[in-house]
A and B are shown apart, each in its own frame.
Chain A
Amino acid sequence: MALPAAATAATHILEVNDLRVAFRGFNGRAEVLQGVNLKVGRGERVGLVGESGCGKSLTVRAIMGILRTPPARVEAGEILFEGRDLLRMRQSERNALKGRDLSMVFQDPGTSLNPVFRVGEQLDDIKYWADRRRGQRMSRAARRERILEVLGQVKLPEPALVYDAFPMQLSGGMRQRVLIAMALLNRPTLLIADEPGTALDVTTQDEILRLLDGLVQEEGLSMLLISHNLGVVRAMTDRLYVMYAGAVVEEGRTADLFKDARHPYTRALMRCVPRLDGEGDLVGIDGTLPDYADPPAGCRFHPRCEFAHRRCLTRPPMIEAGQEGHRSACWLEAPK
């Protein structure tokens, strides 16, 4: 495989280039994602962190192809999965990838399972349809065996009992484990996890995260982890993207980012997090997220930025594409 395209496919399992998503509503057009770039390497654990409304879930929904269109519309960009553009392939091709090679762990264990079907039936459905889309058939007994195997993998005690249980008979932590099992069922290569364990108690969340971490390493998966919790992404990822108002404002190796955050937003965000050792004062960020229908000109963070100067008010800073390593979308950072 000497082709350059194949070479990229070998290094990055997922590559999102200049993704732009806009909404049309009664108040006109709102450009929410304004050119998101991100990459996930093979076997890499990548984090996407930001506060509510920053566009992190929207990015993930666009990747998974579960955006509501309308009102949303992907206006530009490409999403390369193993080198193939998800946005430009036939729907049937995309569906065959979705839930199989490209799988997602959903956030809310309370609402992501159907309350009227047994856990086993829901998992069986997923297995059955994923196989059928690939033109494969498995007996019900064989599917059941695979499901019990995965339920055991997520360390649910008594998989056979869970198989026959209704979601309401399980605790929140167990339901989250079922959702992870669901995502692993078809042996994906890329796992997208949206705030796993966020709705759970801290000890349960910790267990879920450690489980996920172990599975990712065991199975050699690549992972894109979405979270609003800086502590969680610090523990769980190798590389990190920080989003604000629909754009990535900083990226780099997780360790570097926590040691030496560069973008004023990332720095401010870190000062907002209360510390377990009680050190440091909590400093919030004044102002609110801008209105997407009427965003500020220039850098979208400038109205809340203590370092904003004239250039920030008019010209949006960019993270130059192509460079590797730690960089931030800020004029203070940009080379002359």
Chain B
Amino acid sequence: MSGPQQPLGTAVTEPVLLRVQDLTKQFRRSRGAFDRNPQVLRALDGVSFSVRPGETYGLAGESGSGKSTLARIILGLTRPTSGTVQLNGVEIAAPGGAGPGMSRVEFARQVQMVFQNPGSSLNPRRSVMQSVGLALKVNGVAGADVRVRVGDLLEMVELPRAVANKYPYELSGGQKQRVAIARALAPSPRLLVLDEPTSALDVSVQAKVIELLQRLRAELSLTYLFISHDLSLMRTFADRTGVLYLGQFAESGRTDAVFRTPHHPYTRGLLAAVPVITAEEERLKEGLVRITGEVPSATNVPPGCRFHTRCPAVEERCRVVEPERSGDPRTHAVRCHVFPVREPGT
């Protein structure tokens, strides 16, 4: 099902590990059993993107943009209202449906997750050995091998083997996040969903964890789906980036293209708001118009372009007609009437 925005030629063979197609998720919010007009919250509204093996795809957006819902659908924690998610050509999420087209165990061997807060994602009553060991059982590791493998995994995340006998409360935030990464790596997955993996950490620790994730990606040929609200970090870490606004991509493409020549007034406004530490970065922000106001509620998505209520460049058509996607999402695409991406050669 390729929508009208799908430019011809995108379907040509290029290796894709994760393909998200026209994903929509709506939540019904009823105010009690007798509510005849439950509100519909549109968390995701026709999101499509592909992640190539070995790349880091970044999802950026403010709170309420739908980035966490997207992650939850990919992980099979919630079902989409419409659209599909394919992993290596196998459907892993579809509306209604029978769930992933593979067993739970097989799925766990393919996709793993690192959560934002290692303080609450590790069981406080389990030792590191137990937490990481349990994840190994998915891969059929048993008996004395578990101890050896847990030690290996801890070394892989640059922790001493002795950490295996510790409990989460004995570890620092950075160490806990390394344990969470070791646990995610235990079933040897191909795709790692990283949901704000460093936003609970100090910058000095964040830098170390990012360095580690970069090394692991190369060594283990991992693919990352990286969710973050930190645009500077996104710039450093992601190969390609999609900027979500109210459940839809405002702009997406190669990270350097999106950051160097942002088209969408929302992307430009986001970049203008980032506090920076050098004059060179300041120069990058020059000429970008800031945006004001707050994200409208997803129960009441504005008609036309959903950003028009806050847009500094709004025109009449923006209030009525929803903009189509222009450009190629593999390189640079944007949904905006005023600043479309003009494809080279056309």
Task: Report the tally of A-B residue pairs with Cβ distances under 8 A.
Answer: 119
Bound Cα distance from A273 to B236, whole angstroms: 10
B277 interface residue (CB < 8 Å to A): yes
Determine how close the nearest CB of chain A comes to the CB of B66; give it in whole angstroms: 14
Which one of A4-12, A106-114, A197-205, A214-222 contacts B?
Answer: A197-205
B301 interface residue (CB < 8 Å to A): no
**B contact residues around A209 at 8 Å (CB):** 275
Question: Are the CB atoms of A203 and B256 closer together than 8 Å?
Answer: no
A171 to B, closest residue via Cβ = B294
Question: Are the CB atoms of A273 and B294 closer together than 8 Å?
Answer: no
Contact of B281 among A51, A173, A276 (CB under 8 A): A276
Which one of A78-86, A231-239, A324-332 contacts B?
Answer: A231-239
The bracket for how many chain B residues form the interface is: 35 or more
**B contact residues around A158 at 8 Å (CB):** none
Question: Are the CB atoms of A269 and B204 closer together than 8 Å?
Answer: yes
Question: Are the CB atoms of B204 and A234 closer together than 8 Å?
Answer: no
Contact of A276 among B203, B210, B232 (CB under 8 A): B232
**B contact residues around A229 at 8 Å (CB):** 275
Bound Cα distance from A270 to B278, whole angstroms: 10
Bound Cα distance from A269 to B203, whole angstroms: 8
Question: Are the CB atoms of B271 and A272 closer together than 8 Å?
Answer: no
Bound Cα distance from A286 to B208, whole angstroms: 8
A230 interface residue (CB < 8 Å to B): yes
Question: Are the CB atoms of A288 and B172 closer together than 8 Å?
Answer: yes
**B contact residues around A204 at 8 Å (CB):** 294
Determine how close the nearest CB of chain A comes to the CB of B254; give it in whole angstroms: 11
Determine how close the nearest CB of chain B comes to the CB of A208; give it in whole angstroms: 11
Residues of chain B from 257 to 309 with CB closer than 8 A to chain A in the complex:
259, 269-278, 280-281, 284-285, 290-292, 294-295
Consensus secondary structure, chain B interface: helix
- Given that A52-B202, A203-B269, A278-B259 are known contacts, is A272 also in contact with B276, CB under 8 Å in the complex? no
Bound Cα distance from A270 to B203, whole angstroms: 9
A84-100 CB contact bits vs B (8 Å, 1 = yes)? 00000000000000000
Bound Cα distance from A206 to B273, whole angstroms: 5
Question: Are the CB atoms of B236 and A275 closer together than 8 Å?
Answer: yes
A138 interface residue (CB < 8 Å to B): no
Question: Are the CB atoms of A258 and B204 closer together than 8 Å?
Answer: no
Bound Cα distance from A325 to B323, whole angstroms: 54
Contact of B208 among A173, A258, A273, A284 (CB under 8 A): A284
Residues of chain B from 162 to 185 with CB closer than 8 A to chain A in the complex:
172, 174
B106 interface residue (CB < 8 Å to A): no
**A contact residues around B211 at 8 Å (CB):** 282-284
A204 to B, closest residue via Cβ = B294
B338 interface residue (CB < 8 Å to A): no
**B contact residues around A76 at 8 Å (CB):** none
Determine how close the nearest CB of chain A comes to the CB of B178; give it in whole angstroms: 12
**B contact residues around A320 at 8 Å (CB):** none
Question: Are the CB atoms of A203 and B277 closer together than 8 Å?
Answer: no
Question: Are the CB atoms of A258 and B278 closer together than 8 Å?
Answer: yes
A54 to B, closest residue via Cβ = B202
Question: Are the CB atoms of A274 and B232 closer together than 8 Å?
Answer: yes
- Given that A269-B204, A277-B284 are known contacts, is A234 also in contact with B277, CB under 8 Å in the complex? yes
- Given that A269-B204, A276-B285, A282-B210 are known contacts, is A231 also in contact with B230, CB under 8 Å in the complex? no
Determine how close the nearest CB of chain A comes to the CB of B278; give it in whole angstroms: 7
B196-219 CB contact bits vs A (8 Å, 1 = yes)? 000000111111111100000000
**B contact residues around A286 at 8 Å (CB):** 208
Residues of chain A from 279 to 315 with CB closer than 8 A to chain B in the complex:
279, 282-286, 288
B64 to A, closest residue via Cβ = A201
B235 interface residue (CB < 8 Å to A): yes
Question: Are the CB atoms of A202 and B278 closer together than 8 Å?
Answer: no
- Given that A52-B202, A203-B291, A276-B285 are known contacts, is A270 also in contact with B235, CB under 8 Å in the complex? no
Residues of chain A from 223 to 280 with CB closer than 8 A to chain B in the complex:
228-232, 234-235, 258, 268-279
Question: Are the CB atoms of B273 and A276 closer together than 8 Å?
Answer: no
Question: Are the CB atoms of B235 and A205 closer together than 8 Å?
Answer: no
B233 to A, closest residue via Cβ = A274
B52 interface residue (CB < 8 Å to A): no
Question: Are the CB atoms of B281 and A277 closer together than 8 Å?
Answer: yes
A333 interface residue (CB < 8 Å to B): no
Bound Cα distance from A286 to B284, whole angstroms: 31
Question: Are the CB atoms of A279 and B229 closer together than 8 Å?
Answer: no
Question: Are the CB atoms of B277 and A278 closer together than 8 Å?
Answer: no
**A contact residues around B270 at 8 Å (CB):** 202-203
B152 interface residue (CB < 8 Å to A): no
B322 interface residue (CB < 8 Å to A): no
A227 to B, closest residue via Cβ = B275
A121 interface residue (CB < 8 Å to B): no
A145 interface residue (CB < 8 Å to B): no
Question: Are the CB atoms of A275 and B235 closer together than 8 Å?
Answer: yes
Determine how close the nearest CB of chain A comes to the CB of B266; give it in whole angstroms: 9
B62 interface residue (CB < 8 Å to A): yes
Bound Cα distance from A201 to B275, whole angstroms: 12
Contact of B204 among A207, A231, A235, A268 (CB under 8 A): A268
Determine how close the nearest CB of chain A comes to the CB of B297; give it in whole angstroms: 10
Determine how close the nearest CB of chain B comes to the CB of A287; give it in whole angstroms: 9
Question: Are the CB atoms of A284 and B278 closer together than 8 Å?
Answer: no
Question: Are the CB atoms of A270 and B277 closer together than 8 Å?
Answer: yes
Question: Are the CB atoms of A231 and B276 closer together than 8 Å?
Answer: yes
Question: Are the CB atoms of A258 and B277 closer together than 8 Å?
Answer: yes
**A contact residues around B206 at 8 Å (CB):** 272, 282, 284
Bound Cα distance from A230 to B276, whole angstroms: 8
Bound Cα distance from A276 to B236, whole angstroms: 8
Contact of A272 among B204, B229, B294 (CB under 8 A): B204
B63 interface residue (CB < 8 Å to A): yes
Determine how close the nearest CB of chain A comes to the CB of B112; give it in whole angstroms: 23
Bound Cα distance from A206 to B281, whole angstroms: 16
Contact of A275 among B210, B273, B281 (CB under 8 A): B281
B231 interface residue (CB < 8 Å to A): yes
Question: Are the CB atoms of B205 and A284 closer together than 8 Å?
Answer: yes
Determine how close the nearest CB of chain A comes to the CB of B210; give it in whole angstroms: 6
Closest 3 CB pairs of A and B: A231-B275, A284-B208, A284-B207
16 A–B contacts, CB within 8 A, in A order: A173-B294, A206-B273, A207-B292, A231-B277, A272-B204, A274-B235, A276-B231, A276-B259, A276-B274, A276-B284, A277-B235, A278-B236, A282-B207, A282-B211, A284-B210, A285-B207
